[in-house]
Structure 1
């Protein structure tokens, strides 16, 4: 209540029809009475800080006529009236420091207007009027001191062009806001600018995608009128549960605000909620479903103020030190020893000399940029490599990068023509290559299963199958995979949520991973992030692939042992698993009325309907395992028949023809669906079953 009593004083003195007297030379007794009353109510240190601001010190220097009259007649009705006006503010618990700085801004705006009017009077408006130089000399410096408020207003978001095309970015000026720093009180405290991006989400009932691309005419929707009539007759306001959920695909508004750095994100959210509530009251309807605030200021965003990032920086520096010393020792000492032997004996001597080194030297050599760089960049082909896989990896990787580039451009919502682009993009036939980029992920699942099986069968043959009954072997099988992936995985996660968040800044630089990984990092650690905590955003969302791949790997021994013992049983069991996985995918698709693939269509409402497609179907192993199982079978046949399998020309031609037709159909087979957003039941079933197999 102390905070709102303070607000009461500000509003009452600046309220409607209240006109300030000119500043007196001496302090009025009633001003002293008012000041002492406020001080009595505000003895705690938090509010004393607010009271000490120049805003409230200046307020005490004025003696408004109306307030003076009320005090003289012991009439407190004016105070009750102002208090009732401020009563709704009690639910918006904005921090005192934030409230004071926002009030300071408003007060300086009012002061600037008054000084500007006074300056006009000094200059004189009538023809031939003389300029009052002493008056102008007095007001000019004061007017200059208040110019900073224009920087704040200039840094606020402005209405852009292309709103009808989906451009809802009222960005404002990031740099202008954060450079604002002006003294605000006698202690030298400063009003420091802080940039906040406000994301306002509408309700589903205001979904802007409902009629886009559906062929519906652009007419005024009058359905709500009939609904309102029936509601008024029944006396009950009823709406669908879905309509009152938040529409989270495209924000209603992205608005950049320049506010003092004393305001927390919670404070800013409460302020925006208060303003939004006022707009909704005026419009007599619910408009804003949810408000999300991201604020940035120089102090909070400093690397030195982030202890976790500083620890990670120390770790990175330690790694760099090992790399430098390891590379120097490797090049000038270890390689010099190897050069003393004939080149033909390098491999043999390297192994023998390496074993004689101490553990510390071995650790240093492991960090050598020289040796590791040569191994990574070596283009020499090994005798047992499947050479065509290199091309598959490169092309698939480029395909994924291409698709994600377009995806992030669209979902970042930084384009001023997002709606026309989304509508027209699927209409071009060749754009199906971009829209179907998720198919490339299945290529990596296939390669993972194939290489794992091929190498396992070769190793098992070398050991004559004795290893498959040993618990220690299978323990090593899993341990080796986990240790191979997890350390570097955790390091990348650590860098992503710490140092990477400081690499850049700006209104759209959101520390998403930093926030979400604090909640769900452990699900990545156990490779279950495609199942657990799906109600919150995933930590490093793209790592759903690693979770699936590790889960497939854990399941693979069943297939490997069956193929090794009784290959026909293993092949039959693998085929049955593919059939079951395809059936599960089809069932989920039909039950939830999902499209056959996560594809952009002219009917943008389908894109909204895909909001649950990701957790229900896209990232689950029981719907993505078919390519991996096929890869295991191919790896087995490569092991069994060798890499130099001889085929007749007609067999090669038939294989290329069928694979080309199947591949092109998977990519371009849904073009008609992209054009209309409609698909026959038969085509949906056929593509859901075979489109990714």
Structure 2
């Protein structure tokens, strides 16, 4: 008896010992190899009442892994609780889901593919993976079958020979389950799910893809997901939004898409016509036949032309060339004043009507020629610097646009990656400051814009090219106002054609991706562009909240245009009141610094520690915080004009200048690495950093244009950079669209690593410039050419009156 008690006691002790050892082993296995913060430790969780059928109706607490706690859309739960769940579904959805469950139970391939196409937790919860997308392409390629298609003819014959209704339905269902394809259409649903749990400190948002019968509604998808995801009481979830093809976007019912097609077709016709006409002109030149397209020759606006009009042998085109010079004595005017119409007067009227027709025809031909692909391609690849820029500017613009593309590539890649937290790792690396501070690239564009506007304006004014017959007839305020108005109209006409086209492309593509992509668009362009495109057209979109902005990166164009308006006022004023203009410019710069510093200090913005775009709507995109570099560029432009790009500096001055410039630029990009600023220092940095960057660039431009650039000037002035510089405007407009198309066309999120980003960046540079080239020769190049034609025309016409 005692012996039995002793043996029983030993057995019980050993059993408890093994259980405790097992529990400790499970915990050690989970914690082995890493130190986990308390907030990330997984507690033991209760299996919910919905899973009792899976645990023999026990309420036992068990230690589980992360995959158990995040086991959403559990098809095992779906099958176990189907009788309860199907009541909440629509009739058609419940019917097809029943077939799906039967297929899963029978191990049918098509059902397993559907299950495999739905997204679930795999790995990367703490690495920032919020895209459990499954595979949309797999779901779409599990092709539905119309009707009953059997493996062989004997099966079909046997089905047709079944006469009993119950036997027929049973046999049909059996064949349906074991078929290689489902008997219903499939739909892919993307659910945005808000997750609250006890093992992370903040709410998480997941994007989960489900492959379900297409007849299921969004509400059906919500019920199916929520009812099959209650495995853990430590995790609560709520479906925030659902996207599916039930909200299909039809391009052909979209006015914007139809308008884009019309414009594109019209431009293609003009490109073909312009190129064909250009080829025709080249052939005439080879045949040594002169084709005059200088329309000022035909100007009938008061010009006194000789009576000789020679018709060239150009077939039936009726293209005329006026020969001879005007009669300085203007005898016809004396005769007309007598009130008697002479034969000479009648001839003059006939000749004037004829010249009007010739002038209009010539003008139309010149405008069509502006669309010549050959001409516009030659303009892009022309190796001459051009009278409207400086050689060093080409290099600065080319490097800056590459820097902009790099920064945007990283932003988009991190947003659509399954390891978002990887950014926090590379964020600590020294060279990653190059990406974090890519915001200075935009300041380079502001600086070069201000410089060229100022330099070219003062140079044109000195040569008398700004004199216009209209403004010369009046003086004072109205002369300045008309001059100012002309500058604004010229800029608007030059920029707007490609800008509007790209806005239309963005609106249509984002609408399409919103309803067809696994991922949600990064911004609300599909909503904002149809409602607020007019703000972009007026270049005032930065004066409104960022959540209402169409084409987020267009903030630069808005600011640059507003700066151009300010600059035009200062330049017109400087011609007659230079000191007043200089004082006003200084006031603008100081006001910008003070405003930026105040906003940064009020919002406790700490550069280096905070995201550079943290205060996008308060600091980053507002014109009153970014004005400094533009005005500094204007000052440099005036300096180069006054010195005629010729300065004499001794060697010590040159060395000090290059040293200070290099230190300034490198310190701004890399100087805040692992440095924490005080609120006051952070405000000062926010206020001054952009202007200081412009000062660093100022030395580079001055040194390179005055002969002290050395190897830097050779690099920045390299002729190979000229085409890239001329395409920067269109590349800036288009590169974010190329980025979005790449990412949102994918089935799965990116997985980032050090070797991935350079490949993505180089690919985006190539894609962006290819697209920019196409848009430039179609819209930007013709717009600039036509503006030059019309500008020269107005000068010649008004000058002849």
In the alignment, is residue 193 of structure 1 matched against residue 186 of structure 2? yes
Distance 1:389 1:583 in 2: 30
1:44 corresponds to: none
2:244 corresponds to: 295
Distance 2:644 2:425 in 1: 49
Q: Is the 8 A contact 1:396 1:440 kept in 2?
A: yes
Which of 682, 685, 690 is the matching residue for 1:684? 682
Distance 1:586 1:287, change over 3 A: farther
Q: Is the 8 A contact 1:497 1:517 kept in 2?
A: yes
2:771 corresponds to: none
Q: Report the RMSD for the aligned CA atoms in angstroms.
A: 4.0
Matches within 5 A, 1:451-466: 451-461=452-462, 462=464, 463=466
Question: Which structure is richer in relative contact order (CA contacts within 8 A, separation 6 or more)?
Answer: 2
Give the SS at the match of 2:390.
coil
In the alignment, is residue 105 of structure 1 matched against residue 53 of structure 2? no
1:642 corresponds to: 644
Distance 1:534 1:426, change over 3 A: closer
1:181 corresponds to: 144
Contiguous gaps of at least 5 residues in structure 2: 1-52, 54-82, 149-168, 170-181, 298-320, 322-357, 692-801
Distance 1:409 1:363 in 2: 43
1:558 corresponds to: 569
Q: Is the 8 A contact 1:468 1:474 kept in 2?
A: no
Distance 2:447 2:231 in 1: 57
2:275 corresponds to: 327
* Per-residue deviation, 1:671: 0.7
Which of 255, 258, 261 is the matching residue for 2:211? 258
Distance 1:206 1:489, change over 3 A: farther
1:660 corresponds to: 662
* Per-residue deviation, 1:509: 7.2
Distance 1:572 1:274 in 2: 69
* Per-residue deviation, 1:491: 1.1
Which of 496, 505, 510 is the matching residue for 1:495? 505
1:594 corresponds to: 605
Which of 201, 206, 218 is the matching residue for 1:268? 218
Deviations 1:112-165 (A, max 9, x none): 477x4xxxxxxxxxxxxxxxxxxxxxxxxxx9xx75433322211132222222
1:380 corresponds to: 384
Q: Is the 8 A contact 1:432 1:671 kept in 2?
A: yes
Distance 1:547 1:668, change over 3 A: same
Distance 1:351 1:499 in 2: 44
1:627 corresponds to: 629
- TM-score, normalised to structure 1's length? 0.65
Q: Is the 8 A contact 1:520 1:533 kept in 2?
A: no
Matches within 5 A, 1:530-609: 530-536=542-548, 538-596=549-607, 599=608, 606-607=610-611
Give the SS at the match of 2:657.
helix
Distance 1:259 1:106, change over 3 A: closer
Distance 1:522 1:102 in 2: 44
Distance 1:355 1:207 in 2: 79
Which of 474, 478, 487 is the matching residue for 2:484? 474
Q: Is the 8 A contact 1:429 1:671 kept in 2?
A: yes
Q: Across the two proteins, how many residue pairs are aligned to each other?
A: 508
2:673 corresponds to: 671
Q: Is the 8 A contact 1:325 1:364 kept in 2?
A: yes
In the alignment, is residue 434 of structure 1 matched against residue 445 of structure 2? no
Distance 2:547 2:602 in 1: 21
Q: Is the 8 A contact 2:613 2:620 kept in 1?
A: no
Distance 1:425 1:110, change over 3 A: closer
Q: Is the 8 A contact 2:430 2:673 kept in 1?
A: yes
Distance 1:509 1:285, change over 3 A: closer
Distance 1:113 1:684 in 2: 60
2:407 corresponds to: 403
Distance 2:564 2:432 in 1: 34
Which protein shows a greater Rg?
Answer: 2
2:734 corresponds to: none
Contiguous gaps of at least 5 residues in structure 1: 1-15, 17-80, 117-142, 211-242
Matches within 5 A, 1:416-427: 417-419=419-421, 421-427=422-428
Matches within 5 A, 1:27-46: none
- TM-score, normalised to structure 2's length? 0.56
Deviations 1:534-555 (A, max 9, x none): 344x211110111111111222
